[in-house]
Structure 1
Amino acid sequence: MPDSIFSAASLSSLEQACSGVLILTEGIGRDELQRSRLTLRAVLEQLAVIAGCVQGMPAVARSLMPELGWDDWELIGRTLAGARDDDTLWFAVSALVPATMMWLRVYRQEQPGLFAFTACPD
């Protein structure tokens, strides 16, 4: 039961962080993102949240959602933890975040139990 609650909380945080990236980057291109220090900083913070959620996600939850690109997100997290790589950043923003959001919506419909916060029995 604790893993399911942890997974639900992590999936909620993952979804919120992805949504944040999409909102922050809506309508801006790669060059504009690089020039906007405040937006860039906020996007990097959200990507760090995503990477943290991915890193801590239980193996059972990962196996139930294979299309989420777990390995890609782990690589993104490691890359962005070091010196910033603009190509990696743009790949995460323009491709990986939208794909992750799409799959989270699919999984929320197909496997709602993964996203449910359930109380522990007494």
Structure 2
Amino acid sequence: MLNISPFNAIEEAGTAVLTLTEGLEKEEFLASHLTRAETRRQLRLMSKSALLLSPEIHALLVEIDWEGWRALDQRLATSDKAEDTLLWLAVRALAPDTLMWLRVYRKNQPECFKVDA
């Protein structure tokens, strides 16, 4: 695996999630085993990367649902078949919201992104 910052890993995996699921309705997403499996893998990368960031960074970037990422990570770690509703919620809310807030924070609080901790 490449040695990239957790922020960059979150952004890259999040972009992959949005690309994989663009234009899909829930039923289409759930019916596509390949898309669902790859989306799940990318969400797992996002959750693992989010957990690598320090509690101090989490406290500074308060609009991001860090607890949601922790819960998703735990669920994905314990089951190969994460609940459909959970995956769809992550696709439609958790991932895009996180990417949006990272863009805002990167612009308004660039010091948080200089040293990933």
TM over 0.5: yes
Q: What amino acid is aligned across from residue 13 of structure 1 in structure 2?
A: A
Percent identity between the aligned chains? 35
In structure 2, C-alpha distance between the alignment counterparts of 1:91 and 1:61, rounded to whole Å? 24
Q: Where is the helix percentage greater, Structure 1 or Structure 2?
A: 1
Q: Which residue of 1 aligns with 2:51?
A: 55
RMSD between aligned alpha carbons? 1.9
Q: Give runs of ≥4 in structure 1 deviating > 4 Å.
A: none
Q: Which residue of 2 aligns with 1:68?
A: 64
Residue-pair matches, total? 112
**Structure 1 residue 117, shift from structure 2 partner:** 5.8
- Judge conservation of contact 1:48–1:77 (CA < 8 Å) in 2: yes
Say whether residues 1:104 and 2:113 are aligned partners: no
Q: What amino acid is aligned across from residue 99 of structure 2 in structure 1?
A: M
Higher gyration radius (CA):
1
Q: Which residue of 2 aligns with 1:38?
A: 34
Say whether residues 1:26 and 2:14 are aligned partners: no
Q: Which has the higher contact order (CA 8 A, sep 6+)?
A: 1
Q: What amino acid is aligned across from residue 20 of structure 1 in structure 2?
A: A
Of 79, 92, 95, the residue aligned with 1:94 is 92
- Judge conservation of contact 1:54–1:70 (CA < 8 Å) in 2: yes
- Judge conservation of contact 1:12–1:115 (CA < 8 Å) in 2: no
